Amino acid sequence: MKLSKYLLPTLREVPSEAEIPSHQLMLRAGLIRKLASGVYSYLPLGLKALKKIEGIVRDSMDSHDAQELLMSAVLPKEYFETSGRWEVFGPEMFRLRDRAQREFCLGPTHEEIFTDTVKNTIKSYKQLPITLYQIQTKYRDERRPRFGVIRSREFVMKDAYSFDKDEQGLDVSYQNMYDAYKEAFDKMGLEYLIVDADSGAMGGSGSQEFMVKSDVGEDTIAYCRCGFCSNIEKAGCVAEDNNNSANELEMEKIYTPNSRTIEELTQFLNTDAKSFAKTLLYNSDGKIVAVMVRGDREVNETKLANYLGSINLELASPEEVVETTKAAVGFAGPVGLEVDVLVDAEVALMKNFVVGANETKYHYKNVNINKDFTPTVVGDFRNIEIGDICPKCKSEKIDTCQGIEVGHIFKLGTKYTDSMDCTYLDENGKEKTPIMGCYGIGVSRCMAAIIEQYADESGIVWPVSVAPFHVIVVPVNTKNEEQNQLAEEIYSKLKSAGIDVLLDDRNERAGVKFKDADLIGIPVRINVGKGAADRQVEFILRKGLELSEMSADEAIERAIAFIGENK
Ligand code: ATP
Ligand code: MG
């Protein structure tokens, strides 16, 4: 491809809408353009990289005997009604009507549709197990689209679904996809962690996420030297025993005029946050509940939603707080509260703690569980934190890091096959329900994660396996015929050797060309400059920008070898 004819609108300025490096670079390197919040077009260079990632994912699926098919993105409401998810998806689902007012959605994920397909096509145990997949565009009206294609509202996902006769079969299919995922992410050059993940209220017997470690990742991972590695949504907490041996004192109401937050309270009472239990009110599908965690802790909304079986869980609005506590926001507490009070296990070990009094400007001190209020339930409702005791080895301390979730594998069980009445006949002619697994890779998110992982101050650094082009040949001065000719020769020879090669034949200053080449991150650059008369060129690896001089023929050979070794 000749750059003079290629649609590559690079930008020198950092676009103000982009907060993180990968998003900035995808815009600056002319890979994507924004159409609306969370909606992007892929320009030629971006699409080429996306297709390479898709290719890697497809190869890993195919080599693990998954079969590719392609479903529509326009999905009739009925399927989601049968599974119960028409409601569950709530505002995240893009909904539409046809001219006859029939309702549809733009598919956010395809469990229902694959289950229905299997229901209609598979009759006998002889046809199982089977794993089907597609690489397709998904639609989710995310609450907070951000970071470019990392959290967008239209994105490319590879979704696969396995159907097995029994649990042992599912274990095999799951392991098979686990292996396929490792192969795919390794090939993309990604460094990742495989973490235990939440499997939702309905259970499922196991779930793992593939996380790329990155400061801009939206997920928090808790890990321990012992090998424990879990999304904090799921990581179980060991309750810290604060001052269990103290005698229980008499509860006392205290005047705390300007102390609504934990910080204000700790200052006012001159103690630390560990002596407080904060009470947060949530609205779970219309019902208000209270949750108590220690003053320095955070409520884990995933654990809470799983316990409550919530479809929609949100912090209660200020109006709801005032109505429930009969006090201003900031003074909620468990004593006398007429809603369910869920107490974190750590709070249950505390003595003589401070809580809101459900009265504006007042708190209670010396509060004790069972003496002053009775919890509805005691459980694990908080986030694990740095320094916590590891829930696995129970001796080492937890550390945390941020991660970008690029893939998710999940033992689903029979949630969909049951609700959608999908059965097969076993060896004895008896009707049985297939057991499902589902497996997703965020193909477009992978692209951003790769950029995030490898970029340097000059731009993108593509691993060869996903690079849109392998080599860029740059005649330094296009007014010099010798340089042009040698560059053309190198370009044609690489092309005939099957290398994806770009020729920067634009009539631009050398500095502009070099900057662009670095920005778009092509793994190998060959500069054809003053040495052209002697067939001497510069050979530069994008990673590390290491430069060496050599003959044109040697550069061609080196490029072919380098690409071959790293493909
Ligand atoms: P998240 O917690 O990030 O919202 P999820 O649990 O909703 O992810 P899944 O439904 O498991 O994601 O989807 C499979 C994969 O699709 C994810 O692992 C992720 O890589 C990708 N993905 C999910 N939502 C988005 C999005 N809004 N934009 C881009 N990729 C996404
Ligand atoms: Mg999501």
Contacts of 280 (CB under 8 A, 6+ apart): 290, 291, 292, 293, 299, 315, 332
- In short, whether 234's Cβ falls inside 6 Å of ligand 1 is no
408, 412, 446, 451, best to mutate for ligand 1 pocket (most atoms within 8 Å of CB): 408
Q: What local confidence, expressed as pLDDT, does residue 499 receive?
A: 97
Atom in ligand 1 nearest the alpha carbon of residue 140:
27
State CA 220 to chain mean position distance: 10
For the CA of 153, the nearest atom of ligand 1: 27
How far is the centre of ligand 1, averaged over its atoms, from the C-alpha of 472 (Å)? 34
Does 513 contact ligand 1 (Cβ within 6 A)? Answer: no
pLDDT at 240: 79
In ligand 1, which atom is closest to the CA atom of 145?
A: 27
482-501 confidence digits (pLDDT tens) = 999 999 999 999 999 999 99
CA of 74 to the centre of ligand 1 (A): 19
CB atoms within 10 A of CB 46: 22
Residue nearest to atom 22 of ligand 1 (CA): 442
Is the beta carbon of 129 within 6 A of some atom in ligand 1? no
Mean of pLDDT values over 162-168: 97
Residue 438 in contact with ligand 1 by CB distance below 6 A: no
Mutate which of 88, 193, 445, 447 to test ligand 1's pocket (most atoms within 8 Å of Cβ)?
A: 445
pLDDT at 201: 63
* Exposed / middle / buried, residue 495 (Cβ in 10 Å: 0-12, 13-18, 19+): middle
CA distance readout (Å), 223 to 206, 212, 402, 408: 18, 14, 11, 18
Say if ligand 1 is within 6 A of residue 217 CB. Answer: no
Q: What CA–CA distance (Å, rounded) separates 178 from 410? A: 10
Q: Report the chain's mean pLDDT, rounded to a whole number.
A: 95
Question: Higher model confidence: residue 244 or residue 323?
Answer: 323
Q: Quick check: 101 pLDDT over 70?
A: yes
The predicted model gives 304-311 an average pLDDT of: 93
- pLDDT for residue 239: 87
Nearest CA-CA partner of 461 in 544, 392, 531, 382: 544
Mean pLDDT of 148-172: 97
pLDDT, tens digit (0-9, with 9 covering 90-100), for 220-277: 999 999 999 999 999 999 987 766 678 899 999 999 988 878 888 888 888 888 999 9
Mind listing the pLDDT tens digit for each residue in 192-234?
A: 999 999 987 665 679 999 999 999 999 999 999 999 999 999 9
Element (H, E) at 36: strand 32-36
Q: Closest residue (by CA) to atom 18 of ligand 1?
A: 407
Nearest CA to ligand 1 atom 8: 405
Confidence (pLDDT) at 260: 79
The residue among 205, 199, 197, 194 whose CA lies nearest residue 227 is: 194
Q: How close is the Cα of 375 to the center of ligand 2, in Å?
A: 32
Average the pLDDT over 86-92 and give the result.
Answer: 91
State in Å: Cα 442 to ligand 1 middle.
6
Say which residue, 60 or 204, is predicted with more confidence: 60
Q: What mean pLDDT is predicted for residues 107-126?
A: 97
- What's residue 243's pLDDT? 63
pTM of the model: 0.94
Ligand 1 centre to CA of 112 (Å) is: 17
In this prediction, residue 528 carries a pLDDT of 98
Ligand 2: distance of its center to the CA of 296 in Å?
Answer: 27
Which of the pair, 243 or 463, is modelled with greater confidence?
463
